[in-house]
Structure 1
């Protein structure tokens, strides 16, 4: 299983939110480039980054930061937030981003997902964020009447190979991942599943490994010191990249 340390960007700064609430944003690190370099020094191969401003405004807002982190850290990067069209997808992939994450648009314009997958294959991932099992969109500000499992199955039919799943109620809370929903998702589709939200400590990493997941995103746990990144990477084995 791969471990993906997370850096979320809002107003040009590294922040974390609680349950997707923008009013809870608080700065967790001084500089995204040096933070990413620190993750690399601890053995990371990947980094997960989110353009929070982009997610809220439905357009990319911090592109220079992401390309700088990619260039200077040497890490493989997956990036989401505000990516709503083929032009933006192409821009990021042509500027070194390894995998783009399409979120809200997966529900609102599934045809774009299919077009993107046909053009870029496994460099396209879909982020499914849910509240009580129902898909949330637009920076988690809106909740739909679509089940996360139904959307995942639709995305698999469109050719998507990687899904990042977040239970919003767990995000930024350090209360542990939603193992039940993650297990149901992993059984429902053949896509690689990356878990996000709630991871606190090494026991959570082991629990996710037991489910046979592809990856785990760790954010607040790293910044608050409840999880040691190097130890998590060593435990997970990083055998699927």
Structure 2
């Protein structure tokens, strides 16, 4: 299992949201590069980044900062937020982004995902952000009538190999991951699954590891110092 420390970008700074609420945005670090460097020093081999401005506006806003992280820290990065077309995916991959996460576009336009997977294969991941079991889009502002498992199965049929599942009600709360939802998802798809949302401490990571998932994204717990990143990375490799 891999540990993916998270950097969410808003107005060029590293922030954390509470339950996806943009009105409850807290700046946790000024420099994404310095933050990424500290993650690498703790042993992280992959970083999860989200362009929150991009998610709201439907186009990339903080790409220059992400590029700087890749150039200066030299660690693989996956990026989501505002990716709506093949041209943008190509541009991001040219910029050195290792994996591009599709969210809103995946729900609104499955044909686009199919084309993206056909062209870029495993460089494409789909982020499934759920609220009460239903997929949310547009920076989590709108909740669809699509069940998260049904959507995951559809994405797998299309050829998606990597799914990032976030329970919005847990995100940024430090109240623990939704293990039940993750377990049900694991039972229904064979894709690599990355867990996100609510991770508080190393015990949460141990529980996710027991589910035999591909990875876990950790954000607020690192910034709040309720988890030691180096210890967690070491655990993930056992």
Q: Give 3-state SS (helix, strand or coil) of 1:139's partner.
A: coil
Equivalent in the alignment of 2:35 = 35
Q: TM-score, normalised by structure 1?
A: 0.98
Equivalent in the alignment of 2:185 = 185
1:151 lines up with 2:151 in the alignment: yes
Structure 1 moving runs of 4+ over 3 Å? none
Alignment of 1:1-241 (within 5 A): 1-237=1-237
Distance in 1 (CA, whole Å) between partners of 2:170 and 2:120 is 31
RMSD of aligned residue pairs (Cα, Å):
0.7
Distance in 2 (CA, whole Å) between partners of 1:61 and 1:31 is 16
Q: TM-score, normalised by structure 2?
A: 0.99
Show CA shifts across 1:35-84 (max 9, x none). Answer: 10010011010000000000001111111001111111111100000000
Show CA shifts across 1:177-236 (max 9, x none). Answer: 000000101111000000000000000000000001000000000000000000000001
Distance in 1 (CA, whole Å) between partners of 2:101 and 2:214 is 15
How many Å apart are 1:168 and its aligned residue? 0.1
Q: Give 3-state SS (helix, strand or coil) of 2:166's partner.
A: strand
How many Å apart are 1:95 and its aligned residue? 1.1
Q: Give 3-state SS (helix, strand or coil) of 1:231's partner.
A: helix
Aligned residues: 238
Q: Give 3-state SS (helix, strand or coil) of 2:112's partner.
A: helix
Distance in 2 (CA, whole Å) between partners of 1:63 and 1:106 is 20
Distance in 1 (CA, whole Å) between partners of 2:66 and 2:111 is 26
Distance in 1 (CA, whole Å) between partners of 2:212 and 2:63 is 33
How many Å apart are 1:25 and its aligned residue? 0.6
Q: Give 3-state SS (helix, strand or coil) of 1:96's partner.
A: coil
Distance in 2 (CA, whole Å) between partners of 1:94 and 1:158 is 24
How many Å apart are 1:30 and its aligned residue? 2.0
Distance in 2 (CA, whole Å) between partners of 1:215 and 1:8 is 18
Unaligned runs of 5+ in 1: none
Show CA shifts across 1:142-167 (max 9, x none). Answer: 00000000000000001000000000
How many Å apart are 1:94 and its aligned residue? 1.0
Distance in 2 (CA, whole Å) between partners of 1:206 and 1:70 is 29
